[in-house]
Structure 1
Amino acid sequence: MGHREDLLEGAKQCLLDKGYARTTARDIVAASGTNLASIGYHYGSKEALLNQAFLALTEEWGNAVGPALQEDAEPLPADPYARFEAVWGKVIDSFEVSRKVWKLQLEVVTRLETDEALREVIKGPQEEGRSGLAEAFLGMDATADPEKARVAGMLTQALMAGVMIQQMTDPETAPTAKDLTDGLRVFMERGPEEGA
């Protein structure tokens, strides 16, 4: 690996260990075995390097978790509710190994209000990620029906963020896959007369 790749790997490790706010250029240099001048030369700034490292981490997470949601040795159920529960069970089971990435994502959300560069960097990948979520969770081909994949991905992204925040807040009362499925059933089956 060259300095550029070493810096990216070091920055990824720093983000997972320390987060955005606490990572310094010297931390990255120590983790990568490079020098301070390399950051400016290869990335322009520490912030640009951290932004690229964040994107790389989320892409790696998606590449690791996405295939795990697809059919493996055990085919997913045909019933949509049973499939929903099976897939969400896998997502929730993956939380512990993904905890550092989720913690980092929550920090990133708090930075978006004041960090225009970070917001711009993640816009495109966020849209791509939604299509990936639709594919991973529903087996959808985003190219066959981009609009359906877009809205399904948005809903999945919203659910995922909410579930993971609850997991981080209180794992004992966080929703299980069955809780989510039962809640979806109530939501979908509640008739207008019940709301009157």
Structure 2
Amino acid sequence: MSYVRITRLYGDAGYHAGMGQRDDLLAGARQCLIDKGYAHTTARDIVAVTGANLAAIGYHFGTKDALLNAAVLEAFEEWGSSIENASTLTPAATAEARLREFLDGLLSAAAQQHALLVASVQAYALAEFAPEVRAQLAATYAKARRELAAMVLGVPPEDVTPGQAASTGSLIVALINGAVLQWLVDPHDAPKASDLMDAMRTLNPEVDAG
């Protein structure tokens, strides 16, 4: 199975000149998140990347923190959408095979999506202090749990029950988040899809992954 479409979904998280000023600021803020991190990015860093002026941040976003929050949410939403779209690319016959193919494709694409992952993962730290970030993450997770459960169970998303989303969907989200975070820390020693599936069979030898 080809996962070319997965890699195309992620794109380059960097800054590209020639966009509108608001989009320029968002892209510049995202680039600064990747290069410096949230805590170390200043308003001057952002305008240096974009060529805008400090007043433009106030005009479009109010504050530098609001701009950075918007950039983090944009990256996280893009990551969430990519996961959803990747879940449609697994035509395997069994639930276990669908899950394995999905995880294999997603993790294989991580190397090309390092910048996006770095930007999006900062949303977790912000969620504790920014209600709008927490609300957006919660909404994204609620949708992802349903879509991912549907993918593994082989049913339309509208047929997924709340219990299936809470169990099957949550398990897949946990596998994705845990594997990606380990990959960001140490890509050479991070788990592969086969490792995760082997562990699930070891823990539940009589239970199918679906």
Corresponding letter in the other structure for 2:191: P
Residue 178 of structure 1: aligned partner:
194
d(CA) in 2 for partners of 1:27 and 1:63?
Answer: 28
Cα distance, 1:43 vs structure 2: 1.3
**1:86 and 2:104 equivalent?**
no
Cα distance, 1:16 vs structure 2: 2.4
Q: What does 1:29-108 correspond to in 2, within 5 Å?
A: 29-71=47-89, 76-108=91-123
Residue 15 of structure 1: aligned partner:
33
Cα distance, 1:34 vs structure 2: 1.9
TM-score (norm 2): 0.74
**In the superposition, relative to structure 1, how do residues 125 and 137 fare at CA in structure 2: closer, same or farther (>3 Å)?**
same
**In the superposition, relative to structure 1, how do residues 131 and 81 fare at CA in structure 2: closer, same or farther (>3 Å)?**
closer
Cα distance, 1:25 vs structure 2: 1.0
Residue 110 of structure 1: aligned partner:
125
**In the superposition, relative to structure 1, how do residues 130 and 39 fare at CA in structure 2: closer, same or farther (>3 Å)?**
farther
Corresponding letter in the other structure for 2:203: F
**1:142 and 2:157 equivalent?**
yes
d(CA) in 1 for partners of 2:72 and 2:191?
Answer: 27
Contact 1:70/1:137, CA 8 A, preserved across alignment:
no
Find runs of 4+ consecutive structure 1 residues off by over 4 angstroms: 114-117, 135-140
**In the superposition, relative to structure 1, how do residues 31 and 127 fare at CA in structure 2: closer, same or farther (>3 Å)?**
farther
Higher helix share: 1
d(CA) in 1 for partners of 2:201 and 2:28?
Answer: 45
Corresponding letter in the other structure for 2:199: G
Name structure 2 gaps, 5 residues minimum: 1-18
Contact 2:179/2:191, CA 8 A, preserved across alignment:
yes
Corresponding letter in the other structure for 1:104: A
Cα distance, 1:2 vs structure 2: 3.2
Residue 178 of structure 2: aligned partner:
162
TM-score (norm 1): 0.78
Root mean square deviation of aligned Cα: 2.8
Q: Deviations over 1:137-180 (max 9, x none)?
A: 66653333351335433222211111112223333332221111
d(CA) in 1 for partners of 2:61 and 2:144?
Answer: 24
Number of aligned residue pairs: give it. Answer: 188
Contact 1:7/1:28, CA 8 A, preserved across alignment:
yes
Contact 2:79/2:117, CA 8 A, preserved across alignment:
no
**In the superposition, relative to structure 1, how do residues 138 and 11 fare at CA in structure 2: closer, same or farther (>3 Å)?**
farther
Corresponding letter in the other structure for 1:16: I
Name structure 1 gaps, 5 residues minimum: 192-196
Cα distance, 1:93 vs structure 2: 0.1
Contact 1:29/1:36, CA 8 A, preserved across alignment:
yes
